[in-house]
Chain A
Amino acid sequence: MNVVIASGKGGTGKTTLATNLASYLALNHKVVLSDLDVEEPNSALFVKGELQQQTDKFKMIPKWTGECTECGICQDVCAYNAIMQLGKHIILHAQLCHSCYACSELCPIDALPMEAVQMGIMNEAKTPVMDFIESRLNIGEEQAVPLIKETSRYVRDNFPDPVIKIFDAPPGTSCPVIEAVKTADYVILVTEPTPFGLHDMSLMVGVVRDMEKPFGVVINRYGIGNDDVLDYCKREGIEVIARIPNQRQIAETYSRGELLFEKFPDVKSALEQIEQHLFTLNREVVS
């Protein structure tokens, strides 16, 4: 089962939930946690695993052989200004390349064969109770989507059901998030009960509905703000699966990079409720 944890707004507790939920479920089930926030993966700060393997991740970009007829087709066809012809010289801006292969395949003298270049790394770790996969995009690399896609596929291929796969998605609603949500069986939207939380969650609700994904909401820092999020969910027929109460001590524990559910019974019961909910969704997996 693929559970994706997303939020729309940053800072609502997505990573907090993903790391705690995964660690809690791992006590009784086989679990793998994957951090798909490849531009700024943070989960490793809370899930201290032992590194098993580090793999380079590649994207395909053209490599210039040195020959040029100055036809200009490569620059003309590139939608991203990633390849330029300056006189007899071809310059490639690897970070801008979207790997569409157009210049490579349209070059009349085959002077731009595609080659693999490293754009990030994938770390595979093991904690005493679960597996943890994190991918990290090199700084300056523009394209998060290919790395998210590859990481997600790797996890799904190597940890087939009945392993529960928890994916920590990037914040926001732009294309990296879409990619992370694409293969979800279930999406958990984490929000906070404030105007910002409600606003950004409603954007994500639009997204998961467009993508026809079953989803539910977890309200974090419950107690601050107001009940507008609850009212909204009620009006929209959205299930609120659990609430994690606002407690200063929770913030302090989190600030130290510690998991929460062992120390805070309210967090633990919220995780139990989520587990129950997932169990109802997919009996054969969560048993």
Chain B
Amino acid sequence: MRNRLKEIVVISGKGGTGKTSIAASFAILGGEDVVLADCDVDAADMHLLMAPEILLEEAFFSGAIAKIDPALCTGCGLCDEACRFDAINEQDGKYVIDPLNCEGCGYCPRVCPENAISMLDANVGDWYKSKTRMGTPMVHAKLGVGADNSGKLVSKVKEEAKQLAKTEERPFLLVDGPPGVGCPVVASLAGADYVVIVIEPTVSGIHDLKRVQELIAKFRINSGCIINKFDINHEVTSDIKAFIADAGIDHIADIPYDTAFTEAMTIGRTIVEHSPDGIGKYLSESWVKIKQLIQLESEKI
């Protein structure tokens, strides 16, 4: 069996389920076998547990912003007429772009008779190559506020992390995925070998689980579920188990409600470091199980 890189993506649908905390513990458990990718680029948190030392920082460009050269602008207003996003305003007889509203569609340069408008690549964030405090290679990013969170930055982070996994010869790429079911999540799922879905047994949680499942089914990726704080609602926990059994999603673990989760985070540690024989045990067992499930799948090919 060829030693091929295996990509594990941890997502949650709804935010706040413990996804990042759990993914961080897996990173620690994986040790030298893992490269870590934090693809939760809009308000990323993984670095708060991993204390990465940044080795490389790169600006990230996506989309464009229009810019009007006041020296060439004659105030004809054709740009304002063309713009559908209220991004062009008159100011002292000339026209200016409102960067918060500009969508970068590129229409206004085409209508300007003076060629006064140019489209500039928008620097919407930065990405980083780092080493965590445990020496694990980590790729992460920071998306600027108000930015368009397409899948592009997520894809970039994953690509770079995959490259690292190859050069450092590590068998697992562990991805902390974004919340929701939109384009960033789709980008984080592309090429995944296994998806771990972390959810809480609440009505919101199961509601969002169903949406996540639709997405995963579309991409035909094997997946498993961890039910976090399962004991706050046994009824919904049962509903979730029934749902995942029906949907062909593996059941990885049920983790009880425990203050150790936030205690660990508060001191900048992962759960497996803070409470290895307590709650941490559920995570170390989950990690073993996930690897087994992936191995089983790959043996089928």
Chain A neighbourhood of B150, CB < 8 A: 142
A194 within 8 A of partner (CB): yes
* A79-B104 contact in complex given A40-B208, A172-B149, A196-B45, C-beta closer than 8 Å: yes
Chain A neighbourhood of B84, CB < 8 A: 99-101
Identify 26 residue pairs between A and B in the complex whose beta-carbon atoms are under 8 Å apart, listed by A's number: A11-B15, A40-B180, A42-B204, A100-B107, A102-B110, A105-B82, A139-B211, A139-B214, A142-B183, A144-B182, A171-B43, A172-B179, A173-B145, A174-B147, A174-B148, A175-B146, A178-B146, A195-B265, A196-B48, A199-B45, A200-B43, A207-B145, A207-B146, A225-B266, A255-B202, A256-B202
B201 within 8 A of partner (CB): yes
Contact between A11 and B17, CB atoms less than 8 A apart: yes
Contact between B179 and A226, CB atoms less than 8 A apart: no
A235 within 8 A of partner (CB): no
> Which of A8, A194, A199 has the most chain B CB atoms inside 10 A of its CB?
A194
Closest residue of B by beta carbon distance from A44: B207
Chain B neighbourhood of A224, CB < 8 A: 259, 262-263, 266
Which of B145, B180, B233, B262 meets A255, CB within 8 Å?
B233
Q: Which residues in window 164-212 of A have CB below 8 A to B?
A: 171-175, 178, 194-196, 199-200, 203, 206-207, 210
Which of B14, B110, B202 meets A40, CB within 8 Å?
B14
Min distance, Cβ B217 to any Cβ of chain A, angstroms: 12
Contact between A77 and B145, CB atoms less than 8 A apart: no
Contact between B262 and A194, CB atoms less than 8 A apart: yes
Residues of A within 8 A of B (CB): 8-12, 15, 39-40, 42, 45, 77, 79-80, 98-102, 105-106, 139, 142, 144, 171-175, 178, 194-196, 199-200, 203, 206-207, 210, 224-226, 248, 251-252, 254-257
Residues of B within 8 A of A (CB): 13-17, 20, 42-43, 45, 48, 63-64, 82, 84-85, 100, 103-107, 110, 143, 145-150, 179-183, 200-205, 207-208, 211, 214, 229, 232-233, 236, 257, 259, 262-263, 265-266, 268
